[in-house]
Amino acid sequence: MTAERQKEERYKSVGWIVPDLHPLEFLHFVWQNIGEARDGQPLEWQELQAYANMTGETLEAEEWQIIADMSRAYCKELRNLSRFAKSPLDKAQEHD
């Protein structure tokens, strides 16, 4: 059985239905399942490892790094309490 087929079977066994996703959408899906942050703090590597061990998720090191970076950025924006702060969407559009 291929790794992709094993992953599909694992998801089915816990009741998850995962449509075909773009790779970045899939990383967002994984991040949402882990949780964006813990008590307002970025995810720790141990939490990512625990998730991988419990679910059997096999991502590349770079992909785990992207999830950790997303968590740090999310927490940074949560701490920005200025009512004049630009939204993440506005910041992203400035760079386009």
1-59 confidence digits (pLDDT tens): 566 666 666 666 666 666 666 777 888 888 888 988 888 899 999 999 999 998 888 88
Give the pLDDT mean for 66-88: 83
CA distance 28 to 50: 18
User: Which has the closest alpha carbon to 15: 75, 59, 60, 55?
Assistant: 55
| Domain carrying residue 7 | 3-95
The structural domain count of the chain equals 1
CA distance 96 to 93: 5
| pTM of the entire predicted model | 0.66
